[in-house]
C-alpha cells in the first residue's frame, strides 16, 4: 500500500506545494486543516481519494492523534504572522509543533518536517522568532532525526509578499515600506517543497537547513525589482522609525480594542522587531547545496504571476511586440 503523509496546514502556500509533489510521488496525502471545506482545491493533486482534506486543531491532543493515525510521515506547515484570539505565537508555533512531534513519536512515526523561518532565535526581541525557535526545540526533542527548514521570505504564485506590495503599488505614486535596508534572500516556494520531499523520500538527512535563493537584496531593492516587473513607476519611500512605530502601535491597539474583529495584517510592533535583523542564510549553515538543489532566481519566476498587476495585464507582452513592429 502507498505510504501516507499527514500535512498540517497542507492547503496553505507552502503546504500545497509539498502535497502536490508527494502526490506525484505516489503517496497518499492527508491534509490536516481547521476548515476542510475551504481546502478542496488540493484534491485534484492526485487521483480520486489520494489527497484528502480532514479537520484538525493542532491545539488539541486528540485531534492531532486522530489525523496521525496510520501515517508514515508528518509535515507541519502551520504558522501565523499575526496573533489573533487563541491562535497566539506560543500556541501555534511553539506548543503546536511540540504536540505534533510528541504524538508522532508515541505512534512510531520517525520522519517529520517542520517549516520554521530564518531568524528563529530563543533570544530574539521578537516573540514570533522566539516561538519559532521553541517549536524547533520541541520537535527535535521528540524526534531528533526530524528536518527543520528555515526559509527566508518565500515567493511564488499566491505569495503574501510580492503580491501584497504589487497590490499596494496600484494606489498613488509612492510605495511606503519600513526596514528598507534590511536584507532578504527570497526563496521560491517549490524549492522549499523540493527540500521537504527529498527528506521524506529518504534521500536527505534530517537536521536544520536554512533556505535562501541565489540573490541577497535589501527590502528597497526587492520593491524596485517588483515594480520593474509590473511596469509601474513608484517612489519607494522608507518610513522613518518613529512613524513606523506609531503606525504599528495604532494598528495593534485597534485590534485589541475591536476584540479581534479587526486583525492587524498591516504592520505590527513584533514585525518591526523582525525587520531590524537581516533575513539571510547564516554563514556555515546547511542549505540547498547540501541537498543537491539549485534554487530558482526571482527573475525566472516573478513575471509568471505578477503580470496581472501590469496596466495591460497579460496583453502587455503583445503590446510590446506590436510597438517593436511599428519601430
Q: What is the mean pLDDT of the chain?
A: 95
Residue 284 phi/psi, 5-degree rounding, is 90, -5
Q: Is residue 326 part of a domain?
A: no
Residue 315 maps to a domain: no
Q: Do 300 and 225 touch, CB atoms closer than 8 A? A: no
Burial label for 46, CB within 10 Å (0-12, 13-18, 19+), is: buried
Which has the minimum average pLDDT: 7-21, 105-119, 192-206, 247-261? 247-261
Banded model confidence at residue 260, pLDDT cuts 50, 70, 90: confident
* Contact present, 89 and 83 (Cβ < 8 Å): yes
Classify residue 46: in a domain, yes or no. Answer: yes
Structure-derived torsion over alpha carbons of residues 82, 84, 88, 93, reported in degrees to the nearest 10: -50
pLDDT, tens only, 59-103: 999 999 999 999 999 999 999 999 999 999 999 999 999 999 999
User: 315 falls in which pLDDT band (50, 70, 90)?
Assistant: low
Q: Is 141 within 8 Å of 112 (Cβ atoms)?
A: no
Judge whether 37 lies within some domain: yes
For 31, which DSSP code? E
- Whether the per-residue pLDDT at 321 is higher than 70: the answer is no
Residue 218 has pLDDT above 80, yes or no: yes
115 within some domain: yes
Which of the residue ranges 236-240, 259-263, 279-283 would you say has the lowest mean pLDDT? 259-263
- pTM for this model (two decimals): 0.95
Print the domain residue range for 190: 4-158+185-215+277-296
Mean pLDDT computed over 199-207: 98
The reported pLDDT for the residue numbered 251 is 95
The helix or strand, by DSSP H or E, that contains position 253, with its residue range, turns out to be helix 241-257
Give pLDDT, residue 134: 98
| Residue 124 pLDDT class (50, 70, 90 cuts) | very high
For residue 143, tell me if it sits in a domain: yes
- What is the model's pLDDT at position 316? 62
| pLDDT on residue 231 | 96
pLDDT, residue 208, reads 98
Q: Is the pLDDT of residue 290 over 70?
A: yes
- As a whole number of angstroms, the distance between CA 309 and CA 229 comes to 9
Q: Please state, as a whole number, how many other Cβ atoms lie within 10 Å of the Cβ of residue 236.
A: 19
Structural domain includes residue 200: yes
Q: How many domains does the chain have?
A: 1
What pLDDT score does 86 carry? 92
Supply the pLDDT for residue 69.
98
CATH number of the domain enclosing 140: 3.40.50.720
d(CA 279, CA 119): 7
- Report the chain's terminal Cα–Cα distance, integer Å: 62
**Per-residue pLDDT, 240:** 95
Residue 56 within any structural domain of the chain:
yes
In degrees, to the nearest 5, what angle opens at C-alpha 252 toward C-alphas 250 and 254? 70
Residue 327: pLDDT over 90: no
Higher pLDDT, 234 or 317: 234
Task: Specify the pLDDT at position 322.
Answer: 54
Amino acid at each position: 500500500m502507498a505510504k501516507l503523509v499527514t500535512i498540517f496546514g497542507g492547503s496553505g502556500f507552502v503546504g500545497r506545494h509539498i502535497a502536490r509533489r508527494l502526490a506525484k510521488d505516489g503517496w497518499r496525502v492527508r491534509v490536516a486543516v481547521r476548515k476542510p471545506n475551504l481546502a478542496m482545491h488540493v484534491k485534484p493533486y492526485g487521483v480520486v481519494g489520494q489527497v484528502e482534506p480532514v479537520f484538525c486543531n493542532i491545539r488539541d491532543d486528540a485531534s492531532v492523534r486522530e489525523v496521525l493515525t496510520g501515517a508514515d510521515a508528518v509535515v507541519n506547515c502551520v504558522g501565523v504572522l499575526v496573533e489573533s484570539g487563541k491562535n497566539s505565537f506560543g500556541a501555534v508555533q511553539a506548543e503546536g509543533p511540540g504536540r505534533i512531534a510528541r504524538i508522532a513519536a508515541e505512534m512510531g512515526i520517525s520522519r517529520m518536517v517542520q517549516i520554521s523561518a530564518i531568524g528563529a532565535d530563543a533570544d530574539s526581541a521578537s516573540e514570533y522568532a522566539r516561538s519559532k525557535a521553541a517549536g524547533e526545540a520541541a520537535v527535535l526533542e521528540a524526534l531528533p532525526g526530524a528536518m527543520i527548514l528555515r526559509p527566508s521570505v518565500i515567493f511564488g504564485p499566491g505569495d503574501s509578499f510580492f503580491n501584497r506590495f504589487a497590490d499596494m503599488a496600484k494606489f498613488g505614486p509612492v510605495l511606503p515600506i519600513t526596514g528598507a535596508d534590511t536584507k532578504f534572500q527570497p526563496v521560491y516556494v517549490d524549492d522549499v517543497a523540493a527540500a521537504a520531499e527529498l527528506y521524506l523520500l529518504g534521500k536527505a538527512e534530517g537536521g536544520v537547513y536554512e533556505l535562501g535563493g541565489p540573490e541577497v537584496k535589501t527590502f528597497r531593492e526587492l520593491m524596485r525589482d517588483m515594480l520593474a516587473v509590473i511596469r509601474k513607476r513608484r517612489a519607494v519611500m522608507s518610513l522613518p522609525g518613529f512613524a513606523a512605530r506609531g503606525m504599528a502601535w495604532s494598528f495593534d491597539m485597534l485590534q485589541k480594542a475591536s476584540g479581534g474583529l479587526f486583525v492587524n495584517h498591516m504592520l505590527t510592533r513584533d514585525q518591526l522587531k523582525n525587520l531590524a535583523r537581516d533575513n539571510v542564510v547564516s554563514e556555515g549553515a546547511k542549505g540547498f547545496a547540501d541537498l543537491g538543489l539549485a534554487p530558482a532566481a526571482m527573475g525566472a519566476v516573478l513575471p509568471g504571476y505578477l503580470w496581472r498587476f501590469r496596466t495591460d495585464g497579460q496583453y502587455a507582452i503583445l503590446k510590446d511586440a506590436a510597438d517593436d513592429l511599428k519601430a
